[in-house]
Amino acid sequence: MAQPHSTRSTCPYCGVGCGVIIERDGAQITGVRGDPDHPANFGRLCSKGSTLHLTASPAVQQQARLLQPMRRMQRGAAPVASDWATATDDIANRLADIATTHGPDAIGLYVSGQLLTEDYYVFNKLAKGLLGTNNIDTNSRLCMSSAVAGYKATLGADAPPACYDDLALADTVFVAGANPAWAHPILFRRLEDARQARPGQKLIVVDPRRTDTAAAADLHLQILPGSDIALFHGLLHLMLWEGWIDARHIAEHTSGFDALKARVQAFTPQETARLTGVSEFDLALAARWFATAGRTLSLYCQGLNQSSSGTAKNAALINLHLATGQIGKPGAGPFSLTGQPNAMGGREVGGLANLLSAHRDLANPQHRAEVAALWGLSDVPATPGKTAVEMFQAAADGQIKALWIACTNPAQSMPDQTTVRRALERAELVIVQEAFATTATARHADWLLPATTWGEKDGTVTNSERRISRVRPAVPAPGQARHDWLIARDIAQALEAQLRPGQPPLFDYPTPEHVWNEHRESTRGRDLDITGLSYALLDTLGPQQWPMPEGAAQGRARLYEDGRYATPDGRARFADVAYLPLAEPRDARYPVSLTTGRLRDQWHGMSRTGTLGRLFGHAPEPVVDLHPQDMAQLRLQAGDLVQISSRRGTLLLPAQATDSVAPGQAHVAMHWGDEVLGGRALPGQVAAGINALTTGAFCPASKQPELKHTAVRLGKA
Ligand code: SF4
């Protein structure tokens, strides 16, 4: 049980969604520990989660937090203090003016997978229901949109079918494009426990780098960057050849296998080895362990998602599960690991440019009518909104005049920073709603709105295994900071007075629970039905997995156990996907593959973790990892500055020799921004961390950009 001066909540970092107990003394957070009763972590926390209380210290609050509304009277000037009434009125007036003059699609909202579900719901309704634009997208577009599209294309719904308990039940764990040892540490601890308890469990890791996860594997398939689809097709080819497929599951529960079977004929072991760089022996071993060892669970993340063929990569992996019947049973299934703490919640409320509430599709007239009815409107707009990369391109081109950015830092995290910076400079109105005053995006804001953050917020989040947890406030909001849903609600109410005077209010939410109850009702009859769940039940039962419809005693651990999928005919669909090259393959001018990834102790753009010196002990400064062979060829010593150039920009970084990257490849952590690298960009270049180099090329189905790979050239600076 939590003590009187302690509050149960959820870690705000990764998608594992660990439960925490926050300790406080008066209005000060004094400690944090893992919640022993939370089914994601059973009391454990990683280096980031266990230091959360230190990121809420008085010193950090004073130095890093945004504590009152600030207004920049002209671009480049220092912002001056303002107040909420002025901010709300001015923003509502200017948004209404832009919507009236240029149309609602001249406004873009860019929100975050770190918002709570309640925040997300209000923002989504504000854009689609009140303003009348679908131009609302989120940094989840950079995180999980390929997983969403992959699930929908094959299984019929955006619903991870497995759960964390499956780690202990699997005979083979197949990790592709993920490094949970660093990016999902508590889940990795559970995997280590499972391997200790059952030494026969096999771990296969697919990664171009020898990460800590790969180093722990029984088999590391060190593929060439971007060759995942060739690998998955090649494994299916071998499974077919050896007779390791589940013909009954294919016949009774799927469609489209013949076309895929014909496609993978070309992916012979020899050809797959050529395309992927993996030996034929290792391919055969991987196919055998995946298909015949017993139960196989796949874990995957940004290595598949952040790709110009991300949806196809996801679908090609799911094909393997469908072909072998490794789905819908304990210890088996494809299982996407969510990057952010509430990327799932954002999808649930439909807070993306192509979605509507409760997994409804914008393109479906019936779904639009259902959402309009729920909101008491005659319709919601049908034109798809601009997705993340498209939104900033449209602002850079002058089509989008106002950008409202909440709880995210696109001036660091978006690819192709030259375009992003141009967008922020060209937009007539830039609103940045943030807890931290220190982000790169804050420097571009006309209005800075102070938001609450972890330890102060109240609502819900959903983790990777569809589990909804409560986020509870332990201390009051500091200064004039307000909850994100409340800021959006107040501006929405001011906008309503101008855009639909005299009509029934759309945003009559006294508390976040009122928002959640409306969201809950929107899920009735949908795949994620949570009409049986309430804040009160979350208090008494603890975190629950959706679906949990009215009358259910608890949430559901696994999906598709009856062999019926979420497609109209109940059959899963094999995806006959082509193997496509990288958006930017290596060539003579840019002969090196640059990959990006996470560090163990940092989170995203470091606005929170960067406030703690101890979290820099693991990786004190940004470096470029190079193979010793490439270091020698470039005549580099460790620590020498390297000039890294892509088609979009140049960075200077110290070199670090490591054989975790293959020759011809380079790796840079994603977290560092221009605060660190500002002195190291070349004259005339955008100094914006690694995303000064990355490409905005994206997957045509998911619109998720290829942040994981850029063709570069290297030279000694
Ligand atoms: Fe937080 Fe993720 Fe670490 Fe759990 S594993 S404590 S959710 S960062």
Distance 309 CA to ligand 1 centre (A): 29
Distance 16 CA to ligand 1 centre (A): 6
Chain-centroid distance, C-alpha 158: 14
Which residues of the chain are under the pLDDT cut of 50? 1-2, 677-681, 683, 686
Calculate how far, in angstroms, residue 19's C-alpha sits from the geometric centre of ligand 1.
9
pLDDT digits (tens, 9 = 90+) for 366-381: 999 999 999 999 999 9
Q: Output the CA 183–ligand 1 centroid distance in Å.
A: 8
Lookup: tokens for 602? 């940092």
* Residue 281 Rama label (left phi>0; alpha psi -120 to 50; beta): alpha
The backbone region for 583, taken as left when phi is positive above 0, alpha when psi lies in -120 to 50, beta otherwise, is alpha
The Cα–Cα gap between 619 and 598 comes to: 11
| Length in residues, the chain | 717
Taking only the tens place, the pLDDT of each residue in 68-118 is: 999 999 999 999 999 999 999 999 999 999 999 999 999 999 999 999 999
Domain locations in the chain as residue ranges: 6-63, 70-143+342-458+479-517, 145-337, 592-716
Structure tokens of 129? 């229901």
Place domain 6-63 in its CATH homologous superfamily. ADC-like domains (2.20.25.90)
Q: Report the distance separating Cα 144 and Cα 142, nearest Å.
A: 7
pLDDT value of residue 680? 47
Residue 430, phi then psi, degrees to nearest 5: -120, 115
Return the pLDDT at 674. 74
Residue with tokens 């009140």, as numbered in its chain? 130
Q: How many angstroms separate the alpha carbon of residue 424 from the centre of ligand 1?
A: 32
C-alpha dihedral (361, 363, 364, 370), degrees to nearest 10: 60
How many angstroms separate the alpha carbon of residue 468 from the centre of ligand 1?
Answer: 15
Neighbours of 633 (CB within 10 A): 12
Q: Whose CA is nearest to atom 2 of ligand 1?
A: 14
CATH fold for domain 145-337: Dimethylsulfoxide Reductase; domain 2 (3.40.228)
CA 604 to chain centre: 10
Cis bond upstream, residue 547 (ω within 30):
yes
Considering the domain 592-716, what is its CATH architecture?
Beta Barrel (2.40)
Q: How far is the CA of 670 from the centre of ligand 1 (A)?
A: 18
Fold adopted by 70-143+342-458+479-517: Rossmann fold (3.40.50)
Which residues have any ligand 1 atom within 6 Å of their CB?
11, 13-14, 16-18, 41, 45-46, 48-49, 184-186
- 45, 467, 618, 671: residue to mutate for ligand 1 pocket, most atoms within 8 A of CB: 45
Report whether 323 contacts 250 (CB < 8 A): yes
Q: Which of 20, 46, 192 to mutate to test the pocket of ligand 1 (most atoms within 8 A of CB)?
A: 46
The ligand 1 atom at the shortest distance from the C-alpha of residue 16 is 7
Question: How far apart are alpha carbons 451 and 457 in whole angstroms?
Answer: 9
Euclidean distance between CA atoms 53 and 22, whole angstroms: 8
Residue nearest to atom 3 of ligand 1 (CA): 46
Rounded CA-CA distance 446/434 in Å is 13
Strand duo 107-111 + 136-138: pairing: parallel
Task: Give me 450's structure tokens.
Answer: 């102070």
- Which of 10, 11, 187, 192 for mutating ligand 1's site (highest number of atoms within 8 Å of CB)? 11
Number of Cβ within 10 Å of residue 101's Cβ equals 9
Q: Quickly list H helices, 184-279.
A: 185-197, 212-215, 228-242, 247-253, 257-264, 269-276
pTM of the model: 0.96
**CB burial class (10 A; 0-12, 13-18, 19+) of residue 212?**
middle
Q: Which phi and psi (to 5°) does residue 356 adopt?
A: -130, 175
**Which residue bears the tokens 């013949």?**
258
The DSSP bridge partners found for residue 25 are 28
Nearest CA to ligand 1 atom 4: 18
Non-local CB neighbours of 313 within 8 Å, separated by 6+ positions: 146, 150, 177, 228, 229, 232, 304, 305, 307
Structure tokens at 486: 């409340």
What does the pLDDT read at residue 687? 55
Determine the residue of 9, 10, 13, 671 to mutate for testing ligand 1's pocket, defined as the one with the most ligand atoms within 8 A of the Cβ atom. 13
- Residue 475 CA to ligand 1 center (angstroms) comes to 21
Give the residue among 23, 24, 25, 21 at the shortest CA–CA distance from 44: 21
Instruction: Tally DSSP H helices, then E strands, for the chain.
Output: 24, 28
